[in-house]
Each structure stands twice: as C-alpha cells, then as structure tokens.
Structure 1
Amino acid sequence: MDSQTSTEQSQDRPESSDKQVFEIFIQPGFSDLELSAVTSVLRTANEVLNRDRFTWQITSDVPGLVNSSAELIARANPAIGDQYLKDCLIVIAGRNSSPQGWMVRLRAMQKVRRRVVLLSDAAREFVRASKDQEGRAAAHWRDVSLLREVGTFPMLSEQLVVDSGGVMTCAGHGHTLEAVIGILSETLGARECAEIASLLVLDNVRSFSQEQPKGTSYNPNFFEKRLQKALRLMETNIEQPLKLAGLAEEVGLSSRHLERLFMVYFETTPAKLYKKIRLKQAHKLVTDTHMALIEIAIACGFSSAASFSQAYKAEFGETPTQLRRKKR
C-alpha cells in the first residue's frame, strides 16, 4: 500500500466537522468491559441525537479476530503505522500487551493535536514508557501500587482521569462509561450528556479529578462503618501489618468484638483475612513485576522469603518460584 501524505490524512477525517470518528485500538487480552462501554456510550449518544454523529472503527496491530481477556472475540481492522488517523484514538490494551503496537499512532495523533485516550492497561504501559517525561498520568489503582513498588513515577496520579499533553490516561474498567461521557461533553450540551447517562442508568458521572475508590473498603454499601475502617487500615498497611490490638483500637472496638464481627460478616478471623489481603498484593507483584522474592516478601509484611513462600503456596497451590518458572 502506498504511503499516505498528510493531505490525504486530513481528507480521511469526516467531511462534516460536526461528525466524529473514533478509532478503538485493541490488543489480545483486551477488556471486553471497556470495549463494550466505549461503543455503548457512542451508540447511546447517537440515539439521543437521533443521527449518527459518532462512528467508530476497531483496529489492532494483530488484525482479524482478536480475543478478549474473557475469550470474547472482536473483529479488528489493521492499524497501519501513523496512517489513517481518526478524530480520537482510544486504546484498550491487554494485561500483557506491549505499547510498541500503538505508541506510533499515539505520537502521530499528538503531532496533529487530536485526542488520545488510554484505558487501564494501556495507561499503565504509557506510564512505564514515559517515566522520565514531564506531565501527570493516571492508571488503575491496582497498577498504581505496583508501579510505585518497582520504580519512581513522580507523574503518577490516583485520579480517575488525567489529561496531559493531549493524552488522556484513565483508570478504565467500570469508570469507562463515565469517562467517555466526559469526553463527549466537550462537544455536547449538559442536557444531552445527562440523557445519555440516564439511558445507561448512571445516577452520577464523576469528575475526572475525583480520586479512585481503592480496595474493597472504599464501597460503603457492603460493610458497616467499623468493618470498612478495619479493612481500609489493612489495605493501607501492607508492608508493616498492624497487630490485632492496634487494629481494634483504631476502629474503636475490643479485640474480641472485632474478631466476632469478622466471623459474622467474613467467616474468618482478622489475622487470616489480613494475610489474604497481603498475599493478593504479593501475587500481583510476583506475576506483574520482576522484583526479587525477598523484596516482595518485605513489601508485603513477611519476615523472610521462606515464610512468604510457605504462605503463598498455601494460598495459591504453588510457590512464587514455581509460578514464575512456568511463565518463562
């Protein structure tokens, strides 16, 4: 195929400036939740406007039939270097994907000052690739904690969305619906955006600057306040775990009362649940980073690599060394 000139690229945009074309770039293992959220908002916006103002094209660096993380299949057109750019590029990467497949398109979009949106996994990989650059970026809170364990990322934010240098990095996942409505609000009126949210049964569209809810303790609808506070203390004190007496004192209960609450609501003791929370964090570090196991053990509150390995095997059925050996 002949290379496309910049004039031809500009002609590739819709003839009417009112219409917008979105390129949704996916990679193997992409989030079907995020893809569905993006297309659902665009389709609903067209329904509200009673015309096809927003259209989209799904592309990939591995075109054809692309499997999601849930083994659903999407048909993708080829993404060719920096050619055939649309009005907005939305990247939905996979958990183990590489930014090399979409970084060229991102830079090309920046050059012509068009919107780029990176959701969850793509945002994480962008942060990794851009750690020495100025400007802020967001990522899913799970990835924020991982990134901070393996390096220094002064640009990293725990906001839902950060817009910097024409690149919008997002927490993604369930917030994707709200993020896309926020993007459309740049060209649509408040009444139209409110109607889109209503049709999608969203009672609130949070601002981009709002902090992400981090961990199970941040949803008030599942736990009573004292349990919520205890869980939050556990989730925020991974490296130096609190003793039961100290945890109970912070919550305002006796140790025995706190243990009874945990048995009623969780059918386990505070100590066992605390260890499970720490092991979940350790599992993410084992699978998603190259940190030494002793460093992971210390970061997750274990006194030695041996005690960590033993607890890890009891929880996941194999040692961290065995798991890493399988993934090579």
Structure 2
Amino acid sequence: MVERRQFCGAMQGKNLRYLDAQPSQEVRRARAGFVLLEHFSLPAFTQALDTIVTANLLRPAVFATKTFGLGTDEIVSDLGLVIRPDERLTPDAVCELDLLVICGGYRTPLRYNDELSLLLEVAVEQGVTLAGIWNGAWFLGRAGQLDGYRCAVHPEHRPALAEIARLTQVTSEAYVVDCDRLTASSPTGAFYMALEWIRSLHGKSLTDGIEDILAFEASRFRRIKPMLNLSISGPLREVINLMDVNLEEPLQMLDLCLYAGRSRRQIERLFKEQLGTSPQRYYMDLRITEARRLLQHTSLSIVEVSVACGFVSPSHFSKCYSAYFGHRPSKEIRLVK
C-alpha cells in the first residue's frame, strides 16, 4: 500500500475537507452558547455561528452550539426575523459551556440586567470564555467582566462602553481576542473572532479550511463597510487620523499642515480629489457625528458633549447640530437607559 502524501501546512487547510483524515485520538467537543438579546444583529450572529458550524463540516462533531434567551419568549432580530432560542439561560446551562457569546445589535437597548450579570459571574467561576458581538461588549463591561481587557464594540456604542467600563481599553478594531475575552464590532469581526477561538483549540489548518469555504461570505460583509479606507491615500489618511484624535480641541489648518508635513494647498487638493469636500467641512462632519454618538449613547450633558467635540459654546453647537439633523441636541433620543 502506497503511503499517502501529506499537504504542506500552507495548503492543508484548503484541502482539509477532502482528506478524510481520522483523528489520532478522541477530541473533546467544545460547546458554544449564544445569548440572543432583543434586536440582536442577525448577520453578526450568523457569521459567528456559521464559522463554528462549518468547522464541523471539516472535522465532524468537534463543536456543539446552542442558542439561549434570558426569558422564555421568542426574540426579534434586527432584521425583524423572529427566533425562538433553544432554551432559557440558567446557571446549569452556563456550566456546560466552553464559550458564552452575548449577541447584541444596533437597536439592542443598553440596559443593565442583574440576572445576566450573575450568570456571567457563574461563567467566569467555571472558566467559561466570554464573548460579545456588536454591542455585546457593553453588557460584559457593565457586569465588570472586561476590567483590564482590550475589547471591540460597534462604533456607535464605544462612548457608552468607555463611560461605564473605565478599566477597559475600548478599541476601534473589528475584533479583539484578549485571553479569555473575545469581542467583535461587526459581522466580519464576528467571523474572525470565531476563527481565532477555533484556532486556539484546533490549530491553523482547520481555520484555513474554514476561511477557504467562507471567504466569499466574509468579503461580502466586508463590502458593507464604507469604502473610505480603500479609496484614500496614505497622506490623506494621516490628516484624517489627526482630526479624529483632536476633536475636543480641533486643530487649526496651519497646525494640520505642520503635523502632516504637507502644504495647505496639498491637503485641500487631497480632500477635494479623494473625498469631494474641503478639510474644514470634513472636520466639522467628523465632530458633529461624534457629538450625535455621545448624545445618543452616553449620559453626558449637552454642554459636556459640546466641549468634548470642540464647539465654542452650547449655542453654536445647537445651531450646527440643528443644521445637520433638523432638530436641537435637546431633542436627540437618548438610547442609554
């Protein structure tokens, strides 16, 4: 009998589903549980779930998944589809898991839930890895389970998380894996977050195979993101980054030119050619957008928001805000309960 040749590491994953290899020893099945919150992001949830389920196509039965609710009712996703979880989340159910994922969404209310916080404590005591999708990290942070960790959360909810989790490093990344805390801010982030968890258990060959199958889905969600990062040049990106980190005390045009090492004419040309606007208008758009996020997702006062976003007075802020959104800051809907 001719000995079967082995693929090299770089190609093994791509061919894993065709190799029919039998594991040399029995592998323990890892168990992942998904807590579905009201209006959870269905695309983000399914990306994580599909990644894990796809792993079972390559290595049968290495993972088990289950959905949970905090009650016994059906749950409406962000797309309006109604989901009935497999069961209610209980301490006994938590103890049977290896990974517990809190699935939030854009319209998921940011409300403290004492029952969920207690269940998260049980999970930590049992050595269960915790994860959050979209704004799921907010619930982990509100329960004190992200202290000392880095995390990812959807951009709309970064201010809210930063406010209630002072010991947490809230990043702008699509996903973060920090020891036994996994977080993702988008469907694509959820995909790669799940991949990292799988890789930690079964190695790169399996995740290479998963990526080979799901690459199209990943790129499809990636295209939902704004095309800004794909279309702007390095010098322009540098100027935009300077603006982004200087919202409270906006830089004058002269300072932007100095720090970026470009002339005013060069910077204005870059903005006009690549973004179709002026640097001043872009900077204002950036500041007013951040102001809306702060108003909606934190308990900061209007005066505090106006200061945080570099407006010279509350009246000037109110005038600018009304010009953009058609209503005064005082009329903005507050989403933090």
TM-score bucket of the superposed structures, by smaller chain? 0.7 to 0.9
Alignment equivalent of 1:96, drawn from 81, 88, 109: 109
- Which AA in structure 2 matches 1:153? R
Matched residue, 1:32: 42
Matched residue, 2:211: 197
Matched residue, 1:139: 152
Contact 1:27 1:62 in 2 (8 A): no
Any idea what SS the aligned residue of 2:316 has?
Answer: helix
Q: Please state how far the C-alpha of 1:180 moved relative to its aligned partner.
A: 0.9
Contact 2:159 2:298 in 1 (8 A): no
Superposed CA deviations along residues 161-214 of structure 1, whole A, max 9, x for unmatched, are 2545x5x14133121111111111232132112111222228x9xxxxxxxxxx
Query: Cα–Cα, structure 1 residues 141 and 60, in superposed 2: closer, same or farther, change >3 Å?
Result: closer
Matched residue, 2:63: 54
Contact 2:151 2:176 in 1 (8 A): yes
Alignment equivalent of 1:79, drawn from 88, 105, 112: 88
Query: Cα–Cα, structure 1 residues 141 and 70, in superposed 2: closer, same or farther, change >3 Å?
Result: closer
Matched residue, 1:210: none
Contact 2:147 2:165 in 1 (8 A): no
Any idea what SS the aligned residue of 2:101 has?
Answer: strand
Alignment equivalent of 1:22, drawn from 23, 28, 32: 32
Any idea what SS the aligned residue of 2:200 has?
Answer: coil
Structure 2 distance, partners of 1:325, 1:125, is 18
Structure 2 distance, partners of 1:18, 1:139, is 29
Alignment equivalent of 2:239, drawn from 221, 225, 230: 230
Superposed CA deviations along residues 240-272 of structure 1, whole A, max 9, x for unmatched, are 111122223333332233223222222221111
Q: Alignment identity in percent? A: 21
Query: Cα–Cα, structure 1 residues 151 and 31, in superposed 2: closer, same or farther, change >3 Å?
Result: closer
Superposed CA deviations along residues 29-55 of structure 1, whole A, max 9, x for unmatched, are 211222011111012101111x23322
Structure 1 distance, partners of 2:28, 2:167, is 38
Structure 2: give runs of 5+ residues left out of the alignment. 1-25, 219-224
Contact 1:216 1:231 in 2 (8 A): no
Structure 2 distance, partners of 1:326, 1:81, is 28
Q: Please state how far the C-alpha of 1:145 moved relative to its aligned partner.
A: 4.6
1:182 maps to 2:192: no
Q: How many residues are aligned here?
A: 296
Alignment equivalent of 1:287, drawn from 267, 279, 296: 296
Any idea what SS the aligned residue of 1:76 has?
Answer: coil
Contact 1:117 1:169 in 2 (8 A): yes
Structure 1 distance, partners of 2:203, 2:277, is 50
What is the Cα-based RMSD across aligned positions, in Å?
A: 3.0
- TM-score (norm. length: structure 1): 0.79
Superposed CA deviations along residues 225-251 of structure 1, whole A, max 9, x for unmatched, are 121111111111111111122223333
Q: Please state how far the C-alpha of 1:118 moved relative to its aligned partner.
A: 2.3
Q: Please state how far the C-alpha of 1:99 moved relative to its aligned partner.
A: 4.7
Any idea what SS the aligned residue of 1:185 has?
Answer: helix
- TM-score (norm. length: structure 2): 0.77
Matched residue, 1:127: 141
- Of structures 1 and 2, the one scoring higher in RCO (CA 8 A, sep 6+) is 2
Contact 1:135 1:155 in 2 (8 A): yes
Alignment equivalent of 1:44, drawn from 54, 57, 63: 54
Deviates more, 1:252-261 or 1:293-302: 252-261
Q: Please state how far the C-alpha of 1:84 moved relative to its aligned partner.
A: 2.3
Matched residue, 2:183: 170
Structure 2 distance, partners of 1:129, 1:113, is 16
- Which AA in structure 2 matches 1:93? G
Any idea what SS the aligned residue of 1:110 has?
Answer: helix
Structure 1: give runs of 5+ residues left out of the alignment. 1-15, 205-214
Matched residue, 2:131: 117
